[in-house]
Amino acid sequence: MEREMARNELIHSYLSELEMYLSRVNKIQAQEIVKEIESHIYDSLIMESDESHDTTEVVLGRLGTPKELASGYIEHINIGVAPPKGLKPMTKITMGMSKSFYYLIFVLGGSLGLTFIATALAKLIAPPKFGVWIAEHGNSIIVSFSNNSYHSNEVPAIWLVPISLLSGLVILYLTKRLTQLLKVFV
Amino acid sequence: MESSENKLDVQFRKGTLEMSILALLNREPMFGLQLLKKLHEFETMKITEGTLYPLLDRLKRDKVVESYWVQEGDERPRKYYQLSDVGRTKLTALKMRWLKSVSDIQSLLDQ
């Protein structure tokens, strides 16, 4: 029982990694590829158990790493020509840049999204104490954690909650999509 | 390090593999693992899964084969492949070319 759990865990992580590397392929096609490979893995384990007692590792090994397998598919899809040898250093630099870009997007997008969500929660927990006000003469915006004496009209009052929450979720979602796309380079 | 004999083998196989797959699918529709086992019955056709599945995907994109899913009982669904009309035409053309090429080489070797 425990062995089967470990086996399924291994297969599951292989497949989700494969799907990640297939993020450049359209989603429906990628899911179909993953479904076919999954069916192949379990079929192999059933068939092999009568014959050569192949372990999960052996079956997965014959497929190659998720990255190798995905590139086999992607190669067919965008039949690209390998960059000439002189461009190799260039490719290395872009790869390096994409890597830092990936982490930048991850950290920036993540923290920005979470800030928005935290704002919504703060407004929800302590409505009078937290908000965005416009000063009376309309020449400054005050974001405050306590009641302050300068403000007269609060914008956007309780609407701050859904607006922040939605913005936060949208930013987090976009960050997730972007990092998925960039994951190929990391 | 790849020996030159190995390299030759790889190139030779690339050219014949597609034709072999089409020939097998011409007999009956098959799913990936079935196809792999059939290919493995031949000395020169021992390819890995990592090569076969992307190749099947390309054949499908080229409209040479069609695919459909079949689920029997509680078994997992399997993706079957069958030749399309385009595939049958292509197989005939490849076969003619192959036979011509074999007879040409044979006559060269006999000299």
Q: What is the pLDDT of residues A62-86, one digit of tens each?
A: 999 999 999 999 876 655 444 344 4
pLDDT of B12 reads 64
> Which residue of A lies nearest to B35 if distances are taken between CA atoms?
A40
Q: Please name the amino acid found at residue A35.
A: K
Question: B10-58, pLDDT tens digit by residue?
Answer: 666 666 889 999 999 999 999 999 999 999 999 888 889 999 999 999 9
Which residues, other chains included, contact A122 with Cβ-Cβ below 8 Å and sequence gap of 6+? A130, A145
Prior bond to A156 cis, omega within 30? yes
Question: What's the whole-number mean pLDDT along residues A144-155?
Answer: 62
**Chain A residues with a Cβ under 8 Å from any Cβ in chain B:** 32-33, 35-40, 42-44, 47, 62-64, 68-69, 72-73, 75-77
Which residues, other chains included, contact B47 with Cβ-Cβ below 8 Å and sequence gap of 6+? B13, B17, B36, B39
Per-residue pLDDT at A93 exceeds 90: no
CA distance A127 to A117: 15
Token pair for A97 = 């840049």
pLDDT of A80 reads 43
pLDDT of B73 reads 84
Test mutation, B34, B36, B57, B80, chain A, max A CBs within 10 A: B57
Whether A24 and A74 have beta carbons less than 8 Å apart is answered as: yes
How many Cβ contacts (< 8 angstroms) between chains A and B? Answer: 54
pLDDT of A23 reads 85
Count CB-CB contacts under 10 A for residue B36.
21
CB contacts of A63 in chain B (<8 Å) are 48-50, 53
Instruction: Choose between A87 and B99: higher pLDDT.
Output: B99
Longest CA span, chain B = 60
How far is the CA of A75 from the CAs of A100, A149, A152, B29, in angstroms? 25, 64, 62, 26
CB contacts of B79 in chain A (<8 Å) are 32, 35-36, 39
Min CA distance, A134 vs chain B (Å)?
59
Which of these, B57, B50, B52, B62, lies nearest to B94 by C-alpha position? B62
Residue with tokens 């069609």: B66
Question: A4-45, pLDDT tens digit by residue?
Answer: 888 889 999 999 999 999 988 888 999 999 999 999 999 998
pLDDT of B59 reads 92
pLDDT of A54 reads 64
Whether B25 and B81 have beta carbons less than 8 Å apart is answered as: yes
Contact check, Cβ <8 Å, A76/B76? no
> Which residue of B lies nearest to A59 if distances are taken between CA atoms?
B49
pLDDT of A77 reads 61
Question: What's the whole-number mean pLDDT along residues B106-111?
Answer: 91
Picking from A36, A38, A68, the nearest residue to B50 by CB comes out as: A68
